Amino acid sequence: NAGVTQTPKFRVLKTGQSMTLLCAQDMNHEYMYWYRQDPGMGLRLIHYSVGEGTTAKGEVPDGYNVSRLKKQNFLLGLESAAPSQTSVYFCASSYPIYEQYFGPGTRLTVT
């Protein structure tokens, strides 16, 4: 099992560009999550999903959109990137919720 994988691992964007981060899990988990982590900070929840076709807002959803068209995939989109979105993005999946499995992270820089 690969667990949770994230694509890409690194990306540099210019302000105003768009991109999609892909998260894939092969554990048949119902729940999936997107977090961001800034230097010296804990993880902050962006959006999450409790099942295929469902999404919900987390703590810091502004500037991001998500989709969960397939159970194993959870996509995070940035429509118009801003320097404030420079961060490390982690995806996680779980069932039940307490044992979340995290991916390796995507390091995004917006210039």
Q: What is the binding site for another protein (CB under 8 A)? A: 4, 31, 33, 35, 40-45, 48, 50, 56, 58-59, 90, 92, 96-105
Using the structure block, give the residue that is written with the tokens 């990137």.
81
Name the minimum Å distance from CB 87 to another protein. 13
CB of 19 to another protein, least distance (A): 20
Least distance (Å) between residue 102 CB and another protein: 3
The strand ranges marked E within 38-105 are 43-49, 56-57, 65-67, 73-78, 87-94, 101-102
Which residue number, 83 or 104, has a Cβ lying nearer to another protein? 104
Q: Of 4 and 16, which has the nearer Cβ to another protein?
A: 4
SS3 content of the chain, % helix, strand, coil (to 5): 5, 50, 50
Residue placing its CB nearer to another protein in the complex, 22 or 50: 50
For another protein, the closer CB: 39 or 69: 39
Shortest reach from residue 43's CB to another protein, in Å: 4
Question: Which residues are CB-neighbours of 57 under 8 A, at least 6 positions away?
Answer: 47
CA distance 51 to 29: 8
